[in-house]
C-alpha cells in the first residue's frame, strides 16, 4: 500500500495532519478538538482508534487543543520533548503519556523514522520534523520566525514539504484588530514566516525529488491563499522548478490525501542516510535557461 499523507487542517486556529504507512498511523499535532479530529479522520475513512501515536511540534493551543482528551481516552503515546511535555501539562493541568525525545535526535515509530530539529519560535522548545517513510520523506516546517541554516539543511531531502506561509506582510501591517505588540511578535525572528519568507525557503530547499509543497498555517485575517500561492509559485517558476505542485492548506477542510509511491533506494545509502538521491537530474539545468510558464489563471 502506498504511504498516505493527509493534512486534516492547518491555520492559525488549528493544525493536524495524518500519516499512514504499512505499519504506522500517526497524527502530527492535534490542534482541533477531539470531536473535530474524529470527524476529519472519518472523511478519509479512518478513526482515532487506529492511531499508534501523536507527534507534537510545540505546546501552542493551535497544535494541542484536542491532544489530552484524545490521547488519554485511547492511551496513545505522545512524542514530544521534555519542555513541551511540561508546558502541555502546565497549560492543561493534567499528566500526559509522553515518549520524550531530545530535540535534534532521531527515533522510530514503526516503519517511520522521525528526525527532529529546533525551530526559532516563541514556545518552550519548538521543533520541526522530517518523517522518513519507506516511500519518501515528509518535512514539517511551520511556526518559525526565520529559517536557520539548520532548518534548511534538515528539510532539504523532503519529497513533500509542509511550509509555513502565515501572513502577507502588508495585510498584517494594515490589520486593525491586532495590537502592535502582537504584530511585532508575529513579525519577529521567533514568530511566523510570511509568504515572502516561505517563498525564500522554497527556493532554497527545492530539488528534483520534491513533488509537493503544502502552504500551511495561513492567518485567517492577514493572508489569502491566492497571495501565498502566488508568492511561492512565482519564485519557483522563476528558477524553472515547475515540477513541484504547490497547494494551499485550509483551516476548515482537509486537503486531498497525497500518496507517496515507492522510490528507488539510493545506492549504498542506509535508511538513516541524510541525503536522498533523486531519480531525475538535478535542476536548474545548466545547459538551457529555465522556461517560465504563464501564470495559472487562479493565481492572478
The residues of the shown chain that bind Zn ion, judged by CB under 5 A, are 60, 62, 143
Q: Is 35 exposed, middle or buried (0-12, 13-18, 19+ CB in 10 A)?
A: exposed
Residue 12 CB, nearest distance to Zn ion (Å)?
Answer: 7
CB-nearer residue toward Zn ion: 91 or 245: 91
Q: 102: burial class by Cβ within 10 Å (0-12, 13-18, 19+)?
A: exposed
By beta-carbon proximity to Zn ion, the closer residue of 121 and 154 is 121
Q: Which residue is nearest to Zn ion (CB)?
A: 60
Whole-number minimum distance, CB 59 to Zn ion, in Å?
A: 8
Of the candidates 94, 120, 116, the residue with the CA atom closest to the CA atom of residue 105: 116
Backbone angles phi, psi at 71, to 5 degrees: -70, -40
Backbone Cα Rg of the chain: 19
Minimum CB distance to Zn ion smaller for 166 or for 233: 166
Closest CA to 214 of 18, 10, 2: 10
3-state SS, 212-244, equals: EEEEECCCCCCCCHHHHHHHHHHHHHHCCCCCC
**Nearer of residues 20 and 143 to Zn ion, judged by Cβ:** 143
Shortest Å, Cβ 212 to Zn ion: 21
Q: Which is nearer to Zn ion, 125 or 143 (CB)?
A: 143
> What cell was used for 161?
514539504
- Compute the least distance from the CB of residue 200 to Zn ion, in Å: 20
**25 or 60: CB nearest Zn ion:** 60
The crossing angle, in degrees rounded to 10, of helices 67-74 and 82-92 is 100
Contacts of 35 (CB under 8 A, 6+ apart): 66
CB of residue 228 to Zn ion, shortest distance in Å: 15
CB of 53 to Zn ion, least distance (A): 20
Which residue's CB is nearer to Zn ion, number 60 or number 154?
A: 60
Q: Tell me, letter by letter, the H, E, C secondary structure of 256-300.
A: CCEEECCCCCCCCCCCCCCCCCCCCCCCCCCCCCCCCCCCCHHHC
CB of 255 to Zn ion, least distance (A): 17
Amino acid at each position: 500500500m502506498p504511504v498516505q499523507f493527509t493534512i486534516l487542517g492547518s491555520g492559525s486556529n488549528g493544525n493536524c495532519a495524518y500519516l499512514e504507512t504499512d505499519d504506522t498511523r500517526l497524527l502530527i499535532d492535534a490542534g482541533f478538538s477531539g470531536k473535530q479530529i474524529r470527524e476529519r479522520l472519518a472523511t478519509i475513512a479512518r478513526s482515532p482508534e487506529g492511531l499508534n501515536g501523536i507527534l507534537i511540534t510545540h505546546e501552542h493551543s493551535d497544535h494541542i487543543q484536542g491532544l489530552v482528551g484524545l490521547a488519554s481516552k485511547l492511551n496513545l503515546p505522545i512524542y514530544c520533548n521534555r519542555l513541551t511535555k511540561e508546558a502541555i501539562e502546565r497549560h492543561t493541568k493534567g499528566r500526559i503519556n509522553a515518549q520524550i525525545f531530545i530535540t535534534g535526535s532521531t527515533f522510530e515509530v514503526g516503519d517511520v523514522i522521525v528526525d527532529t530539529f529546533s525551530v526559532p519560535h516563541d514556545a518552550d522548545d519548538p521543533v520541526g520534523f522530517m518523517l522518513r517513510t519507506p516511500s519518501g520523506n515528509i518535512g514539517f516546517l511551520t511556526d518559525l520566525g526565520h529559517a536557520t541554516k539548520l532548518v534548511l539543511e534538515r528539510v532539504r531531502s523532503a519529497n513533500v514539504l509542509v511550509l509555513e506561509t502565515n501572513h502577507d506582510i502588508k495585510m498584517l501591517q494594515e490589520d486593525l484588530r491586532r495590537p502592535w505588540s502582537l504584530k511585532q511578535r508575529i513579525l519577529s525572528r521567533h514568530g511566523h514566516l510570511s509568504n515572502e519568507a516561505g517563498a525564500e525557503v522554497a527556493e532554497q530547499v527545492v530539488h528534483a525529488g520534491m513533488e509537493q509543497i503544502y502552504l500551511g498555517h495561513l492567518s485567517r485575517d492577514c493572508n489569502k491563499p491566492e497571495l501565498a500561492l502566488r508568492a511561492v509559485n512565482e519564485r519557483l517558476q522563476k528558477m524553472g522548478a515547475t515540477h513541484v505542485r504547490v497547494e494551499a492548506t485550509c483551516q476548515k477542510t482537509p486537503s486531498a490525501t497525497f500518496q507517496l509511491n515507492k522510490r528507488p533506494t539510493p545506492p549504498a545509502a542506509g535508511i538513516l542516510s541524510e541525503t536522498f538521491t533523486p531519480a531525475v537530474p538535478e535542476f536548474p539545468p545548466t545547459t538551457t535557461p529555465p522556461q517560465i510558464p504563464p501564470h495559472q489563471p487562479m493565481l492572478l
